[in-house]
Amino acid sequence: METASTLTDAGHWVTVIEKEAQVGGKLNNWSYLFPDFTPVEKIKESLREKCEKKDFTILRETEIQSVNRKNDKFDIDTSSGQKLEADAVVVATGYELFDARRKEEYGYKIYDHVITSADLEKLLLPNGDFTVAAGAHPKRIAFVHCVGSRDEKSGNQYCSKVCCITGVKQAIELKKRLPEAEIYCFYMDLRMYGKHFEELYREAQEKYDIQFIRGRLSEASEKIDKSLLIKAEDTLSGRPLKMNVDLLVLLVGMEAGKGTASAATTCGIECESSGFLKTADSFLKSNFSAQEGIFLAGSCTAPMSVNDTILHARSAAIEVDNWLKQTN
Amino acid sequence: MKDFGFTVIKQRTIDYDQFDGRLLNYILEMEPSFKVCLSCGGCTATCSAGDLVSFNIRRLNLMLRRGETVELESEIKKCMLCGKCQLVCPRGINLRNVIMLIKKSVAKHQTVNS
């Protein structure tokens, strides 16, 4: 959307082909954004305004069927039968959330009170209900970092980049809602790389008593009262640790997903072993694919936060604009 | 010798200049997956032996990398080779093979420190 809007501003005719019924992609999953709890509605509102005010077309619930280069143009066929002609193509297929069921030892969709960060995000809305058993709120909650990231067993070697700070953000939000609850984060490393991230981590310790335990969970098991027994090593004290919790939150990572894989096939561009799209150069051409005229924007190239995605999308628009000026 | 009531305290500092990496290098050569440990502790968390005795399979890596090879021989005797550590390892390390390699070679590679 950001790319389309910026390109429209630059005077180009843009058509957005959107798989879903509503635009915004995974933004629709979140309620508040790190690191400053910006309501996601604010970002979506700005996107909506751009869609409504500006003169570009959105084809909803539509997928790309084929992209063929013809002379200097691209012929595009969509699933709803439209035929489009384009000078340039921008792939912005985004990411998928890791399916936590694949990490069976944590019991997602097997045990009642194991949820993902995306599930929790919905509960964080003002009307969210945290009741776990017989009308009681959870007294002890644990977050598990790196679920589906940095994990050979899930097939994902890479770091998803956003889960560390998402965990800290959600832990604080939970503590605000449930001040009596004890909250623990089980981490391997805490990667507070972004602006205000480290400060938020400090705030979590200082103001909200969130406790951080360095160790990866090996497994969770459900007890008869539906609480969960979790096992990890407290690696800093060098001893195995077990803990009973009422709610377990899995911080799920990002995957390239099927949409990106099929876009790669359709456009004839390459994926990396992680499944994300390969950029022509990681420093100077992060919006270019190896195919002339096919550009890349956002988290289809790598796990990315919302603000990084917006920046990458805008830079894609600039690259497309420059390229069109040079070639036409 | 006359006992003056003093004891000589072994230095606590890890003296890297005295480090003898022969055993470590042998194991890394035979089982390269051992190089990529994240020290996450998943192995120790699920270890069947670690619940009952003071056995920390994660620390084997550190012990080898810090030249603490003296205790290794007795440590690995606590392992039951059940392999649960391998099931949870996010880096896919073949820990059973590491134990077997240490078992086979620890006597051969007794270090200068030991």
Q: Tell whether the model's pLDDT for residue B11 goes beyond 90.
A: no
- Confidence category of residue A275, pLDDT binned at 50, 70, 90: very high
Residues A124 and A218 in one domain: yes
Chosen domain end from A231, A254, A277: A254
Question: Is A254 within 8 Å of A240 (Cβ atoms)?
Answer: no
Ramachandran region of residue A313, left (φ > 0), alpha (ψ -120 to 50) or beta? alpha
Question: Is A292 within 8 Å of A72 (Cβ atoms)?
Answer: no
- Confidence category of residue B110, pLDDT binned at 50, 70, 90: low
Q: What is the distance in angstroms between the Cα of B34 and the nearest Cα belonging to chain A?
A: 14
Q: Tell whether the model's pLDDT for residue B2 goes beyond 90.
A: no
Q: Tell whether the model's pLDDT for residue B17 goes beyond 90.
A: no
Burial class (CB in 10 A: 0-12, 13-18, 19+), A255: buried
Q: What is the distance in angstroms between the Cα of A151 and the nearest Cα belonging to chain B?
A: 4
Residues A113 and A242 in one domain: yes
Q: What is the distance in angstroms between the Cα of A232 and the nearest Cα belonging to chain B?
A: 4
Q: Which of A27-31, A91-95, A154-158, B13-17 has the lowest mean pLDDT?
A: B13-17
What is the tens place of the pLDDT at every residue in A160-203?
999 999 999 999 999 999 999 999 999 999 999 999 999 999 99
Q: Do B42 and A150 touch (CB under 8 A)?
A: no
Q: Given CB atoms, is A235 within the 8 Å cutoff of chain B?
A: yes
Q: Most B CBs within 10 Å: which of A216, A237, A243, as the mutation test of the B interface?
A: A216
Average pLDDT, chain A: 95
H or E segment and range at residue A25: none
Residues A146 and A130 in one domain: yes
Residues A69 and A115 in one domain: no
- Rounded Cα distance, A234 and A214, in Å: 6
| Dihedral angle sign, alpha carbons of residues A174, A177, A179, A181 | negative
CA distances from residue A308 to A129, A134, A278, A312, A313 in whole angstroms, order as listed: 31, 42, 17, 6, 8
From chain B residues 46-65, the ones with a CB under 8 A of any chain A CB are 46-47, 50-51, 56, 58-59
Q: Tell whether the model's pLDDT for residue A110 goes beyond 90.
A: yes
Collapsing DSSP to helix, strand or coil, B50 comes out as coil
Q: What pLDDT, on a 0 to 100 scale, did the predictor assign at position B67?
A: 83
Which residues in chain A have their CB less than 8 angstroms from residue B90's CB? 146, 150-153, 216
Task: List strand residue ranges (DSSP E) for chain A, in order.
Answer: 15-17, 32-33, 38-39, 57-59, 64-70, 73-78, 83-86, 89-91, 96-97, 114-116, 140-147, 182-187, 211-214, 219-222, 228-234, 239-245, 247-252, 254-255, 294-296
- Rounded Cα distance, B10 and A202, in Å: 38
Domain containing residue A162: 100-254
What is the tens place of the pLDDT at every residue in B48-93?
999 889 999 999 999 999 888 888 889 999 999 999 999 999 999 9
Residues A161 and A190 in one domain: yes
Q: Tell whether the model's pLDDT for residue B107 goes beyond 70.
A: no
Nearest residue to A298 via CA among A251, A257, A250, A266: A257
| Dihedral angle sign, alpha carbons of residues A232, A235, A241, A245 | negative
Over residues A62-82, mean pLDDT: 94
- Rounded Cα distance, B56 and B45, in Å: 9
Which residues in chain A have their CB less than 8 angstroms from residue B58's CB? 233, 235, 238
- Rounded Cα distance, A257 and A77, in Å: 22
Residues A171 and A43 in one domain: no
Residues A205 and A280 in one domain: no
Which residues in chain B have their CB less than 8 angstroms from residue A238's CB? 44, 56, 58-59
ipTM of the complex: 0.87
In chain B, what percentage of residues exceed pLDDT 90? 59
Residues A115 and A207 in one domain: yes
Q: Tell whether the model's pLDDT for residue A205 goes beyond 50.
A: yes
- Rounded Cα distance, B14 and A46, in Å: 57
Residues A285 and A249 in one domain: no
Residues A154 and A227 in one domain: yes
- Rounded Cα distance, A275 and A259, in Å: 11
Length of chain B: 114
Q: Tell whether the model's pLDDT for residue B113 goes beyond 60.
A: no
Q: What pLDDT, on a 0 to 100 scale, did the predictor assign at position B51?
A: 84
In chain A, what percentage of residues exceed pLDDT 70? 100
Q: What pLDDT, on a 0 to 100 scale, did the predictor assign at position A50?
A: 83
Domains identified in chain A, total number: 2
Q: Tell whether the model's pLDDT for residue A211 goes beyond 90.
A: yes
Which residues in chain B have their CB less than 8 angstroms from residue A105's CB? 88
Question: Is A154 within 8 Å of A148 (Cβ atoms)?
Answer: yes
Residue with tokens 């400053």: A36
Q: What is the distance in angstroms between the Cα of B55 and the nearest Cα belonging to chain A?
A: 9
Q: Tell whether the model's pLDDT for residue B3 goes beyond 70.
A: yes
Which residues in chain B have their CB less than 8 angstroms from residue A150's CB? 38, 90
Question: Is A164 within 8 Å of A200 (Cβ atoms)?
Answer: no
Q: Kindly report the CATH number assigned to the domain that includes residue A201.
A: 3.50.50.60
Residues A250 and A270 in one domain: no
Q: Which residues pair with A45 in a beta bridge?
A: none
Domain boundaries, chain B: 20-105
- Rounded Cα distance, B76 and B82, in Å: 13
Which residues in chain B have their CB less than 8 angstroms from residue A232's CB? 41-42, 45
Q: Tell whether the model's pLDDT for residue B102 goes beyond 70.
A: yes
- Confidence category of residue B101, pLDDT binned at 50, 70, 90: very high
Phi, psi of A32 (to 5 degrees): -130, 145
What is the tens place of the pLDDT at every residue in A127-136?
888 888 777 8
Collapsing DSSP to helix, strand or coil, B73 comes out as helix
Burial class (CB in 10 A: 0-12, 13-18, 19+), A238: middle
For the question of whether the overall pTM of this predicted structure is more than 0.80, the answer is yes
Q: Tell whether the model's pLDDT for residue B112 goes beyond 60.
A: no
DSSP code string of A136-192: BPPSEEEEEEEETSSBGGGTB-S--SSHHHHHHHHHHHHHHH-TT-EEEEEES----
- Rounded Cα distance, A209 and A171, in Å: 10
Helix (DSSP H) and strand (DSSP E) numbers for chain A:
7, 19
Residue of B nearest to A150 (CA): B90
- Confidence category of residue B109, pLDDT binned at 50, 70, 90: low
Residues A9 and A74 in one domain: yes
Q: What pLDDT, on a 0 to 100 scale, did the predictor assign at position B12?
A: 81
What would the two tokens of residue A183 be?
């909250």
Q: Tell whether the model's pLDDT for residue B114 goes beyond 50.
A: no
- Rounded Cα distance, A73 and A87, in Å: 5
